[in-house]
Amino acid sequence: MTKTAVIPDQDALKRIGAQVRQRLESDPEIYKVPTDIAEIFAVPNFLTPEECRRFIAMIDVVARPSELHETAYIEKFRTSYSGNFNPHDPFVKGISRRIDDLLGMNPATGEAIQGQRYLPGQEFKPHNDWFYTDQEYWKMERKRGGQRCWTAMAFLNTVPQGGHTHFTHVGASIEPKPGVLLIWNNAKPDGSPNEDTMHAGTPVIEGSKYVLTKWYRTRKHN
């Protein structure tokens, strides 16, 4: 049997990709990683030092061993601790809204902000943030907002050694700098999944690493 070439949510990924790209590219404060194979942006000083400190304290409360969909082979794949913040907390709501506004995304499409902590030796091996639509979990995610389009991830602290965000295909290894927000499009301009967004949280060698991540869906997330 031949496989159909239908890519779930392709039109929406293409449309949202273009909208957000245009918005970020027109902002002189936003830096674009110079590569033709993926759309990766960095926003310096997106969070204040005080906001970073507040999130770090909150992560220490909510962090539990991280979970992934592909539970069968995740052993040692994502060894960080992570957790979701209370989405009704006014502070969390305010920051969440600021990320929505920066990207121009409909707040209803955003997942809850997730906090993550890596201690020495902990890492997140190379992966893509989009869902593999041939997997069992997709049946559920398809109804919960569909494919992930953009990712926004903020560094909350300085890591003395290790803990970079390494885009393995692009060849960019980004060193954590507190308050910097990284944003990338998980799809290509044509709305198909972009394999070249493959990235890893490299092992922390010294110190600890705190980040927060917000993923956006193509449709209302629930």
Ligand X SMILES: O=C(O)CCC(=O)C(=O)O
Residues that bind Fe ion (CB under 5 A): 129
**Smallest distance from Fe ion to CB 132, Å:** 14
In degrees, rounded to 5, the angle at the alpha carbon of residue 37 between the alpha carbons of residues 201 and 110 is: 55
- Distance separating alpha carbons of residues 30 and 44, to the nearest angstrom: 7
Residues 131-190 that bind ligand X (CB under 6 A): 153, 165
Nearer to ligand X, 11 or 124 (CB): 124
**Smallest distance from Fe ion to CB 127, Å:** 6
Token match 């909150």: residue?
Answer: 58
Task: By CB under 6 A, name the one of 83, 178, 201, 203 that touches ligand X.
Answer: 201
Determine if 199 is a binding residue for ligand X (CB under 6 A).
yes
Determine if 124 is a binding residue for ligand X (CB under 6 A).
yes
Q: Amino acid identity of 198?
A: M
**Smallest distance from Fe ion to CB 3, Å:** 26
Q: Is the dihedral of CA 42, 43, 45, 47 positive or negative?
A: negative
Q: Is the dihedral of CA 59, 60, 62, 68 positive or negative?
A: positive
Q: What does 165 interact with, of ligand X, Fe ion, none (CB < 5 to 8 A by kind)?
A: ligand X
Number of neighbours of residue 206 by Cβ within 10 angstroms: 10
Nearer to ligand X, 82 or 218 (CB): 82
Nearer to ligand X, 11 or 70 (CB): 70
Token match 């799809």: residue?
Answer: 187
CA quadruple 45, 200, 183, 163: dihedral, nearest 10: 0
Determine if 58 is a binding residue for ligand X (CB under 6 A).
no
Q: Amino acid identity of 2?
A: T
Task: By CB under 6 A, name the one of 211, 214, 218, 221 that touches ligand X.
Answer: 211
Nearer to ligand X, 116 or 157 (CB): 116
Closest CB to ligand X: residue number? 201
Pairing state between β 148-155 and 124-127: unpaired
- Distance separating alpha carbons of residues 104 and 17, to the nearest angstrom: 11
**Smallest distance from ligand X to CB 180, Å:** 11
Q: What does 103 interact with, of Fe ion, ligand X, none (CB < 5 to 8 A by kind)?
A: none
* Binding footprint of ligand X on the chain (CB under 6 A): 116, 124, 129, 153, 165, 199, 201, 211, 213
